[in-house]
Structure 1
Amino acid sequence: MAVAYSGGRDSTALLHATARSARELGLRVLALHVHHGLSRHADDWLLHCRAQCEHWHADGLPVSFLAHRLNGAPAPGQSVEAWAREGRYEALQTLATEQGATLLLLAQHRRDQAETFMLQALRGVGAAGLAAMPAEQTRDGLVWARPWLERPREAIEAYLAEQGLSFIEDDSNADERYARNRLRLAVWPALGNAFPQAEAALAQSAAWAQQALDLQREMAALDLAGLLDDAGLDWAGLRQLSEARASNALRAWLQAELGEAAPASLVKRLLIEAREEGAWPCSDGMLRLYRGRLSFELMAEPPTEARPVIQLDLSRPGLYPQPGWQGSWQVAPSATEGASEDVLRCLNMRERSGGEQFQRGPKGLPRSLKKCFQTEGVPAWRRQGPLLFSGEQLLFVPGLGIDGRSLASGTAPRLQLHWIPDVAP
């Protein structure tokens, strides 16, 4: 197992208590220290933590020390706190995983949980924010656990005194530029005097919010089960739900699509503005409502110049990446419709120039691509991609498939084509 170890009072107590228990169980404990490079004392803190672990190890505690130094700086518009937190979590995950740890312990206690609940409430967040810090969660196979969330800070201070443990006092804790410090220094003393039960009550409220969040997620999963298909989210079906359930399901779907929580303003805009069709910039892509389905598509970088005609041999099954087109051709055997190997052996891939006509099926009539796209309900953003020609005969169009004049007849083996756009990084 591993412990996130800054050298402060809380992590020092947790690491020492964990190492004592691990000795009885025959386990090894990793002390993981992240050097943020933000304080002039950071090098001294690293030396203190290393020396303390070596001292404990010499006394028979099964603890090993590992450190990681963060590089870089916050991105434009990113707070120092957010940058340090994200870098710390990534470093802890990497260090623990590389050493084979499956459990990582964090030292937050009941006061920390109560403060987090208050800070989130002051930001006007919903249940996900008010739930504050979970007692346990799994990320990429590593369990992150906070075993002391229900323990008061006084119990930790008593343990430090009882064991005679030294720890680091971070001078930045007195810097009132940070919201949590302002809360601790200016608000908490008065709140504790006026309401002695505040810490326990606020931490309990966070626990209730966590339970409400779990319920929201379960309800969203039930609602979305009947609203999703390959074309996206059934918008009419979503709007038949109550306002609260529709908002809840939409937030859950957006989080799954975007990989992060969607802004509350976006959820409100969609529920107010989305009717038959529309588009909304979002994260690194675009949300689009077309023919009753809401979908999300990452935006790839557009080409800077016209693409040349490229000759291709797609006569064998496989994946054929086309970096200049931000996509790949997928070729697979087909038991039904498809083109023959001979036809696919010599193809030209090129841009749409205008005037092309596509024939749906062997007995169909050639029609303009625009009319075919409209008839098949192919939205504009799924019409992008190269056209394939066999000589001067159009063979394949993204969104429509193989032209009926190029389908194999008789008993000859058939191959099916698919154009797969790249996912933008």
Structure 2
Amino acid sequence: MRSTLSTFNEVWQRESRAGILAVEESVFTQKHFLIGCSGGMDSMLLLHLFYCLFPHRIRVIYVDHQLQSQSALWGEQVNEYCTQRDIECVCVRVTVQQGNLEAEARHARYEAFQQCIQANEILVLAHHEQDQAETLLLNLFSGAGVSGLAAMKPIDWRQNLTIWRPLLDLSREKISQWVKTLNLPYINDPTNLNVYYDRAWARSVLWPVLVSRFPQMQSAVSRTTVLMQDAEDILSDILAIDLQACVIANRLDLKKYQLLSAARQRQMLSSWLKSDQLYRPSYALVQRLQQEVIQARIDAKAALFCKPFWYVRFGQYVYQLSSSEYLAKKYDRIEMKTTMQCAKNVPFQLISGMFEVQSSSKMGLSWHLLSQELVLHQRVGGEKIHLYGRVGHWPLKKAIQQAEIFPWLRHRVQILQSDDVILGVFTPHGFWLANSKFCEPNGWLPVLVQQ
């Protein structure tokens, strides 16, 4: 064990990129580590080294993607290795969704990591130099920008997860040499040789061709990721300024957006579309947002779905909405016509929000209407209403437009009546009093207390 630790420290100091160890001291003195172990050569070496360095501060997670007939057996082998060394091991079975198998498997794996990691733990993964170079090239072939070419960071600080990749500057050849020297058991996954998969093809077919022409290609490509990470950090600083200026809450101010250069517009939209997802959207999706939504006519019903949000144009803003918000009309259950009774200081819930009857210091509804059965019916279109304080009857549609009630919420507008007399209109912006024989000074009004 002492020789292992000495060898590890020697190579670590000599070969790790400057700065990887310049992490807050608390990472090493206070934190514990969750080792992601697939049972392969790289992750078994990682597990062994961390067992030597931090024997009482590690746990292990094995993610079974259920894509191989032997995957459960591999998990048992990892668990047995841990049991012999009194290391806690968690085996998690995940279901990989349909689609790009490599991407969906990665997504399922990281979801498992996030569900299992504890507050005081850092996730440690065994990615190495060739993994890094492969990631850059595959991202390049897919048309990725600076973020994709930055590939994997040694220390990756995410919102709910911190990832450490301590072997990122070690070659696969050196890792293989260590594993043989230490006589570590490991698993050979046959999919690593299946050229149907992009990464396996790059490793088996592309790599030998490139290395035969450019022997130092792997380390050179890996260095490029460092430069791209610097560029990404600079870009992130600029993006933070642009997002703060242009995006408030969930809406993009198009007037401020249009003051940016075309390049900054694209980068800001790409970052906004990414939201809290792991990867940025494709360039084509950014173009669609620009062409189909931002550049649409101001009165057009322009919308684009980019998982998990809808991006909707309304006036001089583009709104980022959840599916439940944008598709509210589809999910809301509203009766065309119903009855209700109002009582003072008794809140009541409507589709447009929570209301409460309160006294009005100005004009309101007659008090004798309280506790009477009133009729509530949904707006169907074409209604004209004489709203209190305005001259004559107005199309309700025009009043809604002037109040800038979002189109995706207009189905929540409901009209309150007593017999055939319109008393007012419930909207997501509050209650609008109608001019009627039931209006009186110091009457009562439904007041919106919660949307």
TM-score, scaled relative to structure 1: 0.81
- Kept after mapping to 2: 8 A contact 1:276/1:291: no
Q: 1:372 aligns with which of 395, 399, 402?
A: 399
Encode CA deviations 1:341-393: one digit per residue, 9 max, x unaligned: 97787765431134534555646654221221333344533422141515343
State yes or no: 1:74 paired with 2:93.
no
Deviation at 1:13, TM superposition (A): 0.8
Q: 1:309 aligns with which of 325, 337, 340?
A: 337
Q: Distance in 1 between matches of 2:422 and 2:57?
A: 68
Residue in 2 that maps onto 1:293: 317
- Kept after mapping to 1: 8 A contact 2:431/2:448: yes
- 1:67-216 matches, within 5 Å, as 67-71=91-95, 73-75=96-98, 78-97=99-118, 101-139=120-158, 141-216=160-235
State yes or no: 1:417 paired with 2:448.
yes
Q: Which amino acid aligns with 1:292?
A: Q
Q: Which amino acid aligns with 1:156?
A: I
- Kept after mapping to 2: 8 A contact 1:33/1:46: yes
| CA 1:220–1:140: 2 relative to 1, 3 Å | closer
Encode CA deviations 1:99-142: one digit per residue, 9 max, x unaligned: x5521111101111111000010111112222212323345543
SS at match of 1:40: coil
Q: Distance in 2 between matches of 1:339 and 1:163?
A: 85
Encode CA deviations 1:38-92: one digit per residue, 9 max, x unaligned: 11221321221121112223xxxxx211111224x533xx122223222221122
| CA 1:129–1:403: 2 relative to 1, 3 Å | same
TM-score, scaled relative to structure 2: 0.77
Q: Distance in 1 between matches of 2:366 and 2:165?
A: 60
Which is further off, 361-370 or 120-129?
361-370
Q: Which amino acid aligns with 2:448?
A: L
Q: Which amino acid aligns with 1:383?
A: R
Identity of aligned residues (%): 25
SS at match of 2:114: helix
- Kept after mapping to 2: 8 A contact 1:110/1:199: yes
State yes or no: 1:55 paired with 2:84.
yes
- Kept after mapping to 2: 8 A contact 1:337/1:416: no
Q: Distance in 1 between matches of 2:353 and 2:297?
A: 31
SS at match of 1:241: coil
Residue in 1 that maps onto 2:68: 39
Residue in 1 that maps onto 2:88: 64
- 1:235-250 matches, within 5 Å, as 235-250=254-269
Q: 1:20 aligns with which of 40, 52, 59?
A: 52
Q: Distance in 1 between matches of 2:357 and 2:231?
A: 47
Q: Distance in 1 between matches of 2:363 and 2:69?
A: 68
Deviation at 1:191, TM superposition (A): 1.6
Q: Distance in 1 between matches of 2:360 and 2:127?
A: 59
- 1:335-414 matches, within 5 Å, as 348-358=375-385, 362=389, 365-389=392-416, 391=418, 392-398=421-427, 401-405=430-434, 410=442
SS at match of 2:416: strand
SS at match of 2:260: coil
SS at match of 1:416: strand
SS at match of 2:228: helix
Q: Distance in 1 between matches of 2:347 and 2:125?
A: 47
- 1:251-290 matches, within 5 Å, as 251-256=270-275, 261-272=280-291, 274-277=295-298, 278=300, 279-283=302-306, 286-290=310-314
- Kept after mapping to 1: 8 A contact 2:343/2:357: no
Q: Distance in 2 between matches of 1:306 and 1:185?
A: 60
Encode CA deviations 1:196-230: one digit per residue, 9 max, x unaligned: 22112211212222222232232122123232357
- CA RMSD in angstroms comes to 3.6
Structure 1: where are the runs of 5+ without partners? 58-62, 421-425
| CA 1:138–1:414: 2 relative to 1, 3 Å | farther
- Kept after mapping to 2: 8 A contact 1:340/1:415: no
Which is further off, 111-120 or 309-318?
309-318
Q: Distance in 2 between matches of 1:38 and 1:250?
A: 36
- Kept after mapping to 2: 8 A contact 1:223/1:249: yes
SS at match of 1:226: helix
Q: Distance in 2 between matches of 1:19 and 1:334?
A: 71
- Kept after mapping to 1: 8 A contact 2:361/2:441: no
- Kept after mapping to 1: 8 A contact 2:64/2:75: yes
Q: Distance in 2 between matches of 1:137 and 1:332?
A: 53
SS at match of 2:287: helix
| CA 1:174–1:339: 2 relative to 1, 3 Å | farther
- Kept after mapping to 1: 8 A contact 2:344/2:358: no
State yes or no: 1:4 paired with 2:36.
yes
